[in-house]
């Protein structure tokens, strides 16, 4: 008898990847971004489903994520790119395991070259240009030197320059003036590289938002994270996608309380009118954001109801009014929304955050993931 679980519909993942692929320009490949345990959905299982949907690339932030994919054979035969490494991390294992690596500086490139020499194999490198996010990527001033160093390493047989790439800052705000500025900066970086004799087979720029709204940014490859999971970075941006995650718990206790009583820690909420409260056994230790105290929504007994009082470590309290809700009833915090339940977007509003953070944090040892669908 389960008490709380996070359900992942692997058929939805496969459907979303196939749907997204159908929206790309012909010849554009799709990378499913599976970093952060696939945004809380479970990296290995998601990778398999995404590959079945047509992903030919998998993207991770850290090297350990990429190595785990290779070690477990998830997505056999696909390309893997990993892009966030602190200096000193041995890279030989990744080069030997055919993991493509990103370089944003000459120091990072040098470490890749050292690793390639050690394992006697050319490393596939994606050169990253910062076109305006001011996060990772080489600055415009450092770009020619990075490209020149990479060209030399390629001539020496130590690396193969597989791609030039970048990342948007505001693609989730279509029309934002930074988008065009970044596109122009990317074109300029490609021209500079071409002038230095570097014209790799791949260019990639688009995240989910750009994949959905900016076909001219698709190039040869798009990197889609959030939309793989059936969520959109833009309100109403992806009507054909199916949210893959739903969060369920069984009501532990129902009891009547009287007007004037305070609810949960700090008594931040006071009962206005006699009512029935349902105790739902998930809390911030399971990923329910405490910032959604007295605001989160939960579907119980055919209706959407509100969390009252503070979200606790292990539990939340939900106001059920006069309705006949009982211990053992199923509570749904969020899901696809097709059965009247709230969505991850609703929880994002309630918690003053984004849907990315809601799903990525969800689940715990005691609130495990359960996989559904034919692909499971
Ligand atoms: C996370 C990430 C993505 C995916 O972004 P979504 O908005 O989830 O599609 C793509 N590229 C990079 C570099 C990322 O860090």
pLDDT of residue 238: 80
Given the residues 118, 152, 255, 265, the one annotated as active site: 265
**Domain residues for 318?**
245-372
91, part of any domain? yes
135 labeled part of a ligand binding site: yes
Q: What is the residue with the minimal CA distance to atom 4 of ligand 1? A: 225
74, part of any domain? yes
Last-in-domain residue among 165, 196, 228: 228
23 labeled part of a ligand binding site: no
239, part of any domain? no
31, part of any domain? yes
Task: Give 350's contacts (C-beta < 8 A, 6+ positions apart).
Answer: 289, 292, 295, 296, 297
236, part of any domain? no
Q: Are residues 154 and 280 in the same domain?
A: no
Q: Are residues 260 and 206 in the same domain?
A: no
Q: Are residues 218 and 341 in the same domain?
A: no
**How many structural domains are present in the chain?**
2
Q: Are residues 156 and 111 in the same domain?
A: yes
Q: Are residues 85 and 224 in the same domain?
A: yes
What is the torsional sign of CA 351, 353, 359, 362? negative
| Residue 229 appears among annotated catalytic residues | no
Q: Are residues 325 and 188 in the same domain?
A: no
**Cβ burial 317-356 (10 Å sphere, 16+ → b, else e):** bbbbeebebeeebebbbbbbeeeebbbbbbbbbbbeebbb
- What SS3 state is found at 209? helix
The response to whether residue 225 sits with its C-beta less than 6 Å from ligand 1 reads yes
pLDDT of residue 75: 65
Q: Are residues 223 and 252 in the same domain?
A: no
Q: Are residues 172 and 311 in the same domain?
A: no
The response to whether residue 81 sits with its C-beta less than 6 Å from ligand 1 reads no
pTM beyond 0.85: the answer is: yes
Q: Are residues 125 and 62 in the same domain?
A: yes
Q: Which atom of ligand 1 is nearest to the CA of 31?
A: 10
The response to whether residue 137 sits with its C-beta less than 6 Å from ligand 1 reads no
Q: Are residues 217 and 268 in the same domain?
A: no
Residues lower than pLDDT 50 in the chain = none
pLDDT of residue 77: 84
Q: Which CATH number is 362's domain given?
A: 2.40.37.10
249, part of any domain? yes
70, part of any domain? yes
The response to whether residue 75 sits with its C-beta less than 6 Å from ligand 1 reads no
Q: Are residues 204 and 345 in the same domain?
A: no
DSSP class of 365: S
Is residue 212 within 8 A of residue 231, CB to CB? The reply is no
Is residue 126 within 8 A of residue 83, CB to CB? The reply is yes
Q: Are residues 38 and 183 in the same domain?
A: yes
């Amino acid at each position: 008898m389960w008490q709380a679980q996070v359900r992942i519909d692997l058929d939805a993942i496969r459907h979303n990847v196939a749907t997204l692929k159908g929206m790309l320009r012909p010849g554009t490949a799709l990378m499913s971004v599976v970093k952060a345990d696939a945004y809380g959905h479970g990296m290995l299982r998601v990778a398999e489903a995404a590959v079945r949907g047509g992903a030919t690339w998998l993207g991770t932030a850290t090297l350990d994520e990429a190595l785990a994919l290779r070690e477990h054979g998830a997505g056999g035969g696909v390309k893997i790119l990993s892009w966030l490494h602190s200096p000193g991390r041995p890279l030989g294992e990744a080069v030997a395991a055919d993991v493509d690596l990103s370089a944003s500086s000459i120091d990072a490139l040098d470490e890749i070259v050292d690793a390639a020499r050690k394992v006697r194999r050319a490393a596939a490198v994606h050169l990253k240009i910062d076109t305006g996010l001011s996060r990772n990527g080489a600055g415009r001033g450092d770009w020619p030197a990075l490209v020149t160093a990479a060209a030399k390493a390629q001539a020496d047989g130590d690396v193969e320059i597989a791609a030039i790439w970048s990342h948007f800052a505001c693609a989730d705000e279509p029309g934002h003036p930074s988008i065009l500025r970044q596109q122009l900066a990317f074109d300029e970086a490609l021209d500079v590289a071409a002038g230095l004799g570097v014209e790799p087979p791949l260019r990639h720029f688009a995240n989910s938002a750009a994949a959905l709204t900016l076909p001219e940014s698709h190039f040869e490859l798009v990197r889609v994270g959030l939309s793989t999971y059936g969520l959109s970075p833009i309100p109403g941006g992806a009507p054909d996608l199916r949210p893959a995650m739903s969060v369920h718990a069984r009501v532990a206790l129902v009891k009547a309380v009287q007007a004037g009583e305070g609810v949960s820690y700090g008594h931040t909420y006071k009962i206005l009118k006699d009512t029935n409260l349902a105790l739902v056994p998930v809390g911030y230790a399971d990923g329910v954001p405490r910032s959604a105290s007295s605001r989160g929504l939960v579907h119980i007994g055919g209706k959407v109801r509100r969390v009252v009082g503070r979200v606790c470590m292990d539990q939340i309290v939900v106001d059920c009014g006069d309705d006949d809700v009982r211990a053992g009833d199923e509570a749904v915090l969020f899901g696809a929304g097709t059965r009247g339940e709230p969505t991850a977007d609703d929880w994002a509003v309630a918690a003053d955050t984004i849907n990315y953070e809601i799903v990525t944090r969800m689940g715990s040892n005691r609130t495990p993931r359960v996989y559904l669908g034919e692909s499971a």
